Amino acid sequence: MLQQTQVKIVIPYFNDFVKKIPNLKALSRSNEKKVLKLWEGLGYYNRAKNLHRSSKILIKKYKGKIPNNFEKLKELPGIGDYTANILLALIYNQPRIGLDANVKRVLFRLFNVNTWSAENLFKTKRNSDLAEALMEFGALICKPLDPKCTECKINKMCSYYKSELKIRFKKKVKIKLKSYDIFCYLKKDKKQIALTKNNNLGFLKKFNLPKIKKASKINKSWKFLCKYRNSISNKKLNISLYYKFSSKIPPKYNWYYLNKNNDFIPTFTKKIFRQVSHLY
């Protein structure tokens, strides 16, 4: 949950999740719909899907025990180098660290290095504590723009603190701007909208959405409703929203109520709900 998401946002989701799905076995036995519903609002829903798929593999193949081997961990859905390293450090106290942006910054500043091997630079029996401490230290003390150097307990050994020419770290995030048209079939008497999981946009694939296409010529049977912007990860989307009232919908679409729903609805789609609800 914490990947790409702030702690204060995650806490209520986490508490609710572990209350309803308290352990790995329960997770492996839950259906995906339930897991996604508990994740609803956190975004990056592939994390939830991968967690769920991994729980099934862990129960079936590893008897519910997380492997203590880097390569085996990386075979699990959604686990890359970073997550495998941090799991091995935190669970098995292996001499590894998760090199996220915070930790890289701390190490580069401290030692003025640009390649890294945990074993070479730290010898400790508390690898798990070290991995966790580096993440916290980068988030709270050695911050990107205003590191708290004067109150930092290790400033005497820090190359950055001692040097007069301070290196600045800038986040290089390429923002992609794209335009899409969204077409909503609406049922007038029931406050319903037709959604499908059958769209071919990579980043929204298999999520419940109205018809969505790259911006192009519009068929006159659709009425224009509004334009708005939506950001997803490093993409900024210019959305043009169209609608038509109809009781007939194409194959692979289903009706959903705008205001009460037990199904998982991604935040992206909920924004569409808000816009079209003005029509009722």
Residues that bind ligand SF4 (CB under 6 A): 109-110, 141-142, 147-149, 152, 154-155, 158, 160-161
**Nearest approach, Cβ of residue 149 and ligand SF4 (Å):** 3
**Nearest approach, Cβ of residue 111 and ligand SF4 (Å):** 10
Task: Compare residues 61 and 162 and give the one whose CB is closer to ligand SF4.
Answer: 162
DSSP one-letter string for the chain: --TTS-HHHHHHHHHHHHHHS-SHHHHHHS-HHHHHHHHTTS--THHHHHHHHHHHHHHHHHTT---S-HHHHHTSTT--HHHHHHHHHHHH--S-----HHHHHHHHHHH--SS--HHHH---S-HHHHHHHHHHHHHHTS-SSS--TTT-TTGGG-HHHH-SS--------PPEEEEEEEEEEEETTTTEEEEES----GGGTTS-BSEEEES----TTSEEEEEEEEEETTEEEEEEEEEEE-S---TTEEEEESS--SS---HHHHHHHHHHHTT-
Task: Compare residues 109 and 211 and give the one whose CB is closer to ligand SF4.
Answer: 109
Task: Compare residues 96 and 105 and give the one whose CB is closer to ligand SF4.
Answer: 105
Task: Compare residues 30 and 155 and give the one whose CB is closer to ligand SF4.
Answer: 155
**Nearest approach, Cβ of residue 145 and ligand SF4 (Å):** 12
**Nearest approach, Cβ of residue 118 and ligand SF4 (Å):** 17
**Nearest approach, Cβ of residue 108 and ligand SF4 (Å):** 9
Task: Compare residues 141 and 201 and give the one whose CB is closer to ligand SF4.
Answer: 141
Task: Compare residues 50 and 155 and give the one whose CB is closer to ligand SF4.
Answer: 155
**Nearest approach, Cβ of residue 155 and ligand SF4 (Å):** 4
Structure tokens at 95: 């001499």
